[in-house]
């Protein structure tokens, strides 16, 4: 048996504990955006949402316009939910579940992401700190204006609570409904992106444009 003799070796130091990511700067709690809009309520993801998200991600109709193909199992859903829960806990931009206020029915999810916070395998584009708004709705709830209402709430969160000067969104140019949502939110065409051989149109809105939109309503 080897014994540690006093004075011959320095005492062992504990391993450093990794620091959690720094939260995005937020103003006072009283100014944090409400989690409700006119018809919708937005809540953070929980593990209980994995089965529903897995069903959505396996639905070719829902995934045909997304930048990732339909999933074959629930692994992608588990990764996505875990990532959103960690972002929410760290106070960073994240996606939320969308519920109808009148009956609590889940209709989709919507929110914000920073490209440099997102797992690199999710995008072949150069990662940076830009803020993107995204949304996914169950097809049975298409055509009710929920995507526009949820996207507007996410934009308000980005400008009011994360202090951004511009926010962008991307869509398959053939997805006319999604492009219409971006336009109804006051976003303007910025450029086209090519990702994994597929074209995506990029729309954006700046803080002055957002504020002008609010004052003109």
pLDDT digits (tens, 9 = 90+) for 168-182: 999 989 889 999 999
Residue 60: predicted pLDDT: 82
Please state the pTM of the whole predicted model.
0.77
The answer, yes or no, to whether residue 25 has pLDDT greater than 50, is no
Higher pLDDT, 45 or 71: 45
CA distances from 200 to 64, 69, 76, 115, 142 (A): 13, 15, 22, 16, 21
For the segment 101-114, what is each residue's pLDDT rounded down to a tens digit? 999 999 999 999 88
Instruction: Determine how many CB atoms are found less than 10 A away from the CB of residue 193.
Output: 16
Q: What is the pLDDT of residue 35?
A: 80
> How high is the pLDDT of residue 186?
94
pLDDT of residue 163: 86
The dihedral through the CA atoms of 155, 156, 159, 161 has a sign that is negative
Strand order in the sheet with 166-171: 40-44, 95-100, 106-114, 131-137, 166-171, 198-206, 188-195
Q: What is the mean pLDDT of the chain?
A: 79
Residues 17-39: what's their mean pLDDT?
Answer: 49
pLDDT at 176: 92
What's the confidence (pLDDT) of residue 63? 83
Residue 20 has pLDDT above 60, yes or no: no
pLDDT given for residue 116 in this prediction: 58
| pLDDT at residue 1 is higher than 70 | no
The architecture (CATH level 2) of 36-216 comes to 3-Layer(aba) Sandwich (3.40)
Domain boundaries defined on the chain:
36-216
């Amino acid at each position: 048996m080897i014994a540690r003799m006093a004075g011959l070796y320095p005492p062992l130091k504990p391993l450093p504990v990794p620091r959690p990511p720094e939260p995005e700067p937020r103003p006072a709690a009283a100014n944090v955006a409400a989690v409700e809009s006119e018809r919708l309520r937005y809540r953070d993801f929980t593990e209980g949402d994995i089965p529903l998200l897995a069903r959505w991600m396996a639905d070719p109709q829902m995934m045909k316009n997304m930048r990732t193909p339909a999933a074959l199992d629930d692994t992608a859903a588990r990764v996505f939910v875990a990532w959103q829960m960690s972002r929410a806990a760290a106070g960073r931009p994240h996606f939320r579940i969308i519920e109808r206020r009148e009956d609590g029915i889940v209709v989709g999810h919507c929110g914000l992401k920073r490209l440099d916070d997102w797992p690199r395998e999710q995008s072949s584009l150069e990662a940076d700190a830009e803020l993107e708004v995204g949304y996914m709705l169950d097809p049975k709830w298409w055509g009710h204006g929920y995507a526009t209402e949820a996207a507007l709430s996410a934009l308000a969160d980005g400008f009011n609570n994360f202090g951004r000067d511009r926010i962008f969104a991307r869509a398959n140019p053939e997805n006319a409904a999604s492009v219409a949502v971006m336009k109804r939110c006051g976003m303007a065409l910025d450029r086209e992106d090519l990702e994994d051989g597929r074209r995506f149109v990029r729309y954006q809105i700046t803080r002055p444009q957002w504020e002008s939109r609010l004052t003109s309503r």
